[in-house]
Amino acid sequence: MHILLATGIYPPDIGGPATYAEKLAQEFLNLGHTVTVVTYGSVRPNASERERLTVIPVSKVGSVLSRWFRYSRALRKYGSDADVMIAFSSVSTGVPLMFSGLKKPKKILRLGGDFFWERYTDGGGMKSLSDWYRSVCGFWRIVNFTFMAGILRSFDALVYSTEFQKFIHEKEYAGLPKSTVIENARPTCAPNSGASVGRPHQPFRLLFMGRFVGFKNLLALLDAIVNMPNVTLTLVGSGPMEQALRAKTTALNLGSRVRFQAPVSGEEKSRVFAEHDLLILPSVTEISPNTALEAAAEGLPVLLTTETGLSGSGMICLKPLRLASQIASAIRECIEHPVSTSNDVQVRTYAKVAQDWMQFFSSL
C-alpha cells in the first residue's frame, strides 16, 4: 500500500505533530508499506532512511495562497497513485488537498487541534474549546460553520485523537463523514530516567513545555507564582508570545525565578524532565497533550487543566486552571500533597497506533 502523509511540520522541526508523523511513517514502513511525506519546510531525508520513504519539502516562502498552491501541486504530483492520504491539519494541509482535486486516494483528516479556536485564543480570547463552540456567533460562526464544515465534509473520513473533540464536532456539525478515535501513543517509561528521584527540590521546580501561544494561558501562570517565592519556573519552548512573556517576567520582577529555554527533544527532553518536580499545563484547553504523557512516562508528575481529552490518573492530576488564583491554589496543593509517583499510565506503542490506522483503512 502507498500511504501519503500530508503534514505541516516534520523533523528536524520539533513538536508533537512532527513526532507523530515521523513515528507513524516509520511504523507503516515496518509493516511493509511505501510512505510519502509532504511537509512545509526544507526537510531532506536522512541517508539511513529506507528507499520506501520519500520526504517532499514545500517552500514556506510567500503568501498563504502561494504556499497552498505549491503544496497542492506537490500532492497532485506525489499522491496521484497513493492508496490512502492522511492530512494532519484541517487548514494548512486540508485546504491544499481540496485544491489538488485528487480523486483516487481515500482522504482522511486526523484532528488533534482546532484551527479557528486557536486563532481566537491568539487574539486574547480565553474561552475553552467547548465554551467557544457554545458561544461563537456573528462572523466567527459564519466562518467556522461554513468554511470549516466544508473542509471536514470534503474528506472520506475523520480520525480524532480523543473522544472529547469528536463529541464536540458531532454535536456542532451535521453531515460529517465516517469517523473514529485513534488515541496517541503513550510512551514506555525511560529506564533509569531519574525523574522522580530526590524530589521535591528547594525551591520547588515547575516546568512548562510547549508552544508559547495564547491558549496555553502562560501569562496567568506568571501571575500565579508572583507570591510563591518557594517556586521556580522553567518555560521550555518558543512561539509568538515569547516577547510578551519575557516582558511580563521583567515587569513582575520574576527574572530570578523564571527561566526560558529553547525547545528540546530526545535525551535532552528526558534530562529536563528529571530536573523538575512538576510539569504544569494550564491551557484554556488541551485536547491531547503528548507532553503530559511523555512526562508521566518519565516519572514526572503532571498538573493539567480539566479541559482536556486525557483522563486524570496516577501521575496526571486534573484541576481547573483558568485563573491565576486557581493555578496558584493547585500548585500549592501539589506541593503540600504531591501527585502520586506510581506510574499507572498504560503503555500504547506507535506500532499499536499504526495497527489501529491499518484496521481503519480496511473499513473504508
Identical topology for domains 2-185+349-362 and 204-336: yes
**pTM metric for this prediction:** 0.85
Name residue 330's amino acid.
A
Q: How far is CA 188 from the centre of its chain?
A: 19
Return phi, psi of residue 65, to 5°.
Answer: -65, -40
Higher pLDDT, 38 or 52: 38
Report the share of the chain in percent with pLDDT over 70: 92
Classified as helix, coil or strand, 329 is: helix
Give the domain 204-336 fold. Answer: Rossmann fold (3.40.50)
The residue extents of the domains of the chain are 2-185+349-362, 204-336
Tens digit of each residue's pLDDT (9 = 90 or more) over 316-364: 999 999 999 999 999 999 999 887 665 555 778 999 999 999 999 999 9
Q: Which CATH fold would you assign to the domain 2-185+349-362?
A: Rossmann fold (3.40.50)
Q: Give every CB contact of residue 83 below 8 A, 6+ residues apart in sequence.
A: 1, 2, 3, 105, 106
Residue 192 — pLDDT band, cuts 50, 70, 90? very low
Cβ-count burial 243-265 (b if 16+ within 10 Å, e if not): eebeebbeeeebeebbeeeebbe
Q: Which of 20-24, 190-194, 238-242 has the least mean pLDDT?
A: 190-194
